[in-house]
């Protein structure tokens, strides 16, 4: 329910206009909560008939200036191109630089830029040390955004989950893999807390509380087996047997393998303690209960 999120947030100034590039899973949720706060929001997708496409934007096409008229806030949720370039900056850097109305520019990045810390905590003061090619590209895009000298805020996210993208999907279609890698944890964030914290940070930014980088993560980095076991318990479904990582890795896609090769815990003290954001779903248990409540099980 948007109202549960909205009641935690202050309204944005009247006439706020937020342009979201990349209305995928997070982008759509942020757009929806933004609209419930009374903000004018326009969201891009690559195909005009995609759900929630207010306008189309693809990194290889031009965009009319009209979209930017009166835009006060811009958020990019689009990953880097394989070339390492940022799709939005590649096409629209001059339009952004020429804007007289922009007060905040957000960039959804990933905590992958911290690299592998062998299970240690990372915070915003930890030097990025990306090891995966996609994380190297990501850090390069962060730099490209910061170099514009626009009022940019980099928001680093761990694994995103929420209704329609959670442990229940694979559990209920029988594709769950119980991979056992002792000591391995993943941080995560519920999509409602991405939406809530983005709109919370936009407000703080205008009050001069404007850190350049903020991690958006929940309180409890956890082993994947615990997450799946909890989901199975509330869905009252059985669990497949566990497979040791050393065996599972032989049939993993390179992408999946790259996630399992990094182990870190993401600290959220800047967001939650210093800046004062109150998580709606502080851990995977509360978040999964919400996902389960949205499942359409007959």
Interface pick for ligand NAP out of 57, 68, 104, 186 (rule CB under 6 A): 57
Interface with ligand NAP, residue 84, by CB under 6 A = no
Q: Looking at beta carbons only, is 164 or 244 nearer to ligand NAP? A: 164
For the chain, report the end-to-end CA distance as a whole number of angstroms.
21
- Determine whether 250 is exposed, middle or buried from the number of CB atoms within 10 Å of its CB (0-12, 13-18, 19+): exposed
Closest distance between ligand NAP and the C-beta of residue 50, in Å? 5
Closest distance between ligand NAP and the C-beta of residue 155, in Å? 9
Q: Looking at beta carbons only, is 170 or 206 nearer to ligand NAP? A: 170
Q: What is the C-alpha to C-alpha distance for residues 245 and 136, in angstroms, rounded to an integer?
A: 25
Q: What is the C-alpha to C-alpha distance for residues 298 and 81, in angstroms, rounded to an integer?
A: 41
69 phi, psi to nearest 5 deg: -60, 120
Q: Which of 40, 51, 38, 102 is nearest to 73 (CA)?
A: 102
Q: Which of the stretches 71-79, 113-121, 142-150, 240-248 binds ligand NAP when contact is defined by CB under 6 A?
A: 71-79
- Helices 284-293, 224-235: inter-axial angle, 10-degree rounding: 40
Closest distance between ligand NAP and the C-beta of residue 207, in Å? 26
Asked if residues 5 and 290 have their Cβ atoms less than 8 Å apart, the reply is: no
Asked if residues 160 and 189 have their Cβ atoms less than 8 Å apart, the reply is: yes
Q: Which of the stretches 56-64, 121-129, 195-203, 229-237 binds ligand NAP when contact is defined by CB under 6 A?
A: 56-64
Closest distance between ligand NAP and the C-beta of residue 45, in Å? 4
Chain positions 101 to 160 lying near ligand NAP, rule: CB under 6 A, are 108, 110, 157, 159-160
In eight-state DSSP terms, residue 54 is: S
Closest distance between ligand NAP and the C-beta of residue 193, in Å? 13
Interface with ligand NAP, residue 79, by CB under 6 A = yes
Q: Looking at beta carbons only, is 47 or 207 nearer to ligand NAP? A: 47
Q: Which of the stretches 10-18, 45-53, 239-247, 284-292 binds ligand NAP when contact is defined by CB under 6 A?
A: 45-53
159 phi, psi to nearest 5 deg: -60, 130
Reading the block at residue 204, the tokens are: 């703080």
- Tell me the number of residues near ligand NAP by CB under 6 A: 22
């Amino acid at each position: 329910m948007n109202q549960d999120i909205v009641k935690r947030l202050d309204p944005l100034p009247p006439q706020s206009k937020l342009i979201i590039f990349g209305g995928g899973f997070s982008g759509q949720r942020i757009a929806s909560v933004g609209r419930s706060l009374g903000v004018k929001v326009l969201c891009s997708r690559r195909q005009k008939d995609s759900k929630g496409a207010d306008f189309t934007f693809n990194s290889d096409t031009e965009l009319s200036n009209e979209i930017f008229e009166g835009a006060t806030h811009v958020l990019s949720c689009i990953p880097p191109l394989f070339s390492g370039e940022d799709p939005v900056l590649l096409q629209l850097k001059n339009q952004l630089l020429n804007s007289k109305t922009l007060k905040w520019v957000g960039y959804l990045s990933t905590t992958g830029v911290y690299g592998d810390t062998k299970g240690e905590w990372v915070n915003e003061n930890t030097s990025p040390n990306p090891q995966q090619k996609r994380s190297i590209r990501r850090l390069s895009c962060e730099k490209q955004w910061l170099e514009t000298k626009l009022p940019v805020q980099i928001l680093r996210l761990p694994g995103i989950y929420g209704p329609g993208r959670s442990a229940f999907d694979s559990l209920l279609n029988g594709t769950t893999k119980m991979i056992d890698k002792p000591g391995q944890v993943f941080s995560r964030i519920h999509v409602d807390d991405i939406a809530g914290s983005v709109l919370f940070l936009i407000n703080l930014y205008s009050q001069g509380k404007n850190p350049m980088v903020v991690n958006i993560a929940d309180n409890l980095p956890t082993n994947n087996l615990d997450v799946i076991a909890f989901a199975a318990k509330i869905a009252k479904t059985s669990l497949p047997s566990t497979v040791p990582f050393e065996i599972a890795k032989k049939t993993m896609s390179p992408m999946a393998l790259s996630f399992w090769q990094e182990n870190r815990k993401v600290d959220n003290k800047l967001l939650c303690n210093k800046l004062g954001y109150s998580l709606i779903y502080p851990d995977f248990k509360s978040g999964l209960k919400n996902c389960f409540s949205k499942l359409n099980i007959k």
